């Protein structure tokens, strides 16, 4: 059975973690398969990430970590970090449809997406401190970038399990809906009409360590020269 399922309709792909018996825990095999699926996608503007069985992800697979030697645990963290960076920089808009719960590495996966949709009852948190661990896949820095260092300290140091409403108030969740997957599908339908060149340029600029006005000018010039941009502008000017 595949650990990750993928469905594609027009310019929207839905990538679903398919390990419901383990609450979609993220093992090295799951991470590897998910990266392979994403790399295989072509002509896609939006990717929805979700979990099978009404649950997003319980996080990193603790059974794998417990049985691993120190160098293997270090590699597990590095491999997860590399994948989260890859997902963050992926050349399409990524939406995490968070149902049920997203704990530890599961929340780190959601934080690596561009947008997050949850219900008010969804549970989430960087819960590692309660297990004597630390977040190992970049979740702390991503919360700091998304919601500020105060929120990052609060979430990581308390290990509190938040509901979707609290995460929304903190700025970690972008949209609240009783049905996150359905809402994500509707959101993706509209976003898929956006220019893929523009999406990729915006993500490139936001992904740079220090926002570069020179890079912005370079990408602006290149995109304005594309046929898609010129056609869209010509239609707009004729209104």
Domain extent, residue 220, equals: 196-237
Instruction: Indicate if 57 and 168 belong to the same structural domain.
Output: yes
Instruction: Indicate if 12 and 65 belong to the same structural domain.
Output: yes
Q: What is the pLDDT of residue 239?
A: 72
Instruction: Indicate if 151 and 88 belong to the same structural domain.
Output: yes
Which of the residues 128, 166, 182, 234 is marked catalytic?
Answer: 128
Cα 191 to chain centroid, rounded: 16
- Please give the tally of structural domains in the chain: 2
**99 belongs to the catalytic site:** no
Instruction: Indicate if 203 and 180 belong to the same structural domain.
Output: no
Which of the residues 7, 70, 108, 234 is marked catalytic?
Answer: 108
Instruction: Indicate if 161 and 210 belong to the same structural domain.
Output: no
**128 belongs to the catalytic site:** yes
The pLDDT profile of the chain, 239 residues, written as one tens digit per residue, is: 799 999 999 999 999 999 999 999 999 999 999 999 999 999 999 999 999 999 999 999 988 777 777 778 788 888 999 999 999 999 999 999 999 999 999 999 999 999 999 999 999 999 999 988 899 999 999 999 999 999 999 999 999 999 999 999 999 999 999 999 999 999 999 999 999 999 999 999 888 755 566 767 676 667 667 787 678 767 766 77
Instruction: Indicate if 61 and 89 belong to the same structural domain.
Output: yes
Question: Could you tell me the two tokens for 203?
Answer: 């993500």
User: Cα–Cα distance between 36 and 207 in angstroms, integer?
Assistant: 22
Instruction: Indicate if 92 and 21 belong to the same structural domain.
Output: yes
Instruction: Indicate if 184 and 200 belong to the same structural domain.
Output: no
pTM, two decimals, is 0.91
Instruction: Indicate if 101 and 205 belong to the same structural domain.
Output: no
Instruction: Tally DSSP H helices, then E strands, for the chain.
Output: 11, 9
Instruction: Indicate if 215 and 136 belong to the same structural domain.
Output: no
Instruction: Indicate if 110 and 222 belong to the same structural domain.
Output: no
């Amino acid at each position: 059975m595949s650990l990750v399922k993928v469905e594609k309709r027009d310019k929207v792909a839905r990538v679903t973690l398919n390990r419901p018996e383990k609450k979609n825990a993220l093992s090295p095999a799951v991470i590897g398969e998910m990266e392979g699926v994403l790399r295989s996608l072509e002509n896609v503007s939006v990717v929805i990430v979700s979990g099978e069985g009404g649950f997003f992800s319980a996080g990193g697979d603790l059974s794998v970590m417990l049985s691993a030697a120190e160098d293997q645990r270090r590699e597990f963290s590095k491999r997860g970090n590399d994948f989260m960076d890859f997902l963050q920089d992926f050349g399409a808009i990524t939406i995490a449809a968070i149902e049920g719960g997203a704990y530890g590495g599961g929340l780190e996966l959601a934080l690596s997406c561009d947008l997050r949709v949850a219900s008010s009852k969804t549970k989430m948190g960087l819960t590692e401190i309660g297990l004597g661990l630390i977040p190992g896949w970049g979740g702390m820095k991503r919360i700091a970038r998304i919601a500020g260092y105060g929120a990052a300290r609060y979430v990581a140091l308390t290990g509190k399990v938040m509901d979707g409403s609290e995460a929304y108030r903190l700025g970690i969740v972008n949209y609240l809906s009783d049905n996150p997957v359905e809402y994500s599908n509707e959101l993706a339908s509209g976003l898929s009409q956006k220019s893929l060149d523009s999406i990729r340029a915006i993500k490139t600029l936001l992904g740079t360590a220090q926002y570069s006005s020179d890079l912005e000018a370079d990408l602006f010039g290149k995109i304005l020269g594309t046929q898609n941009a010129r056609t869209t502008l010509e239609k707009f000017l004729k209104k």
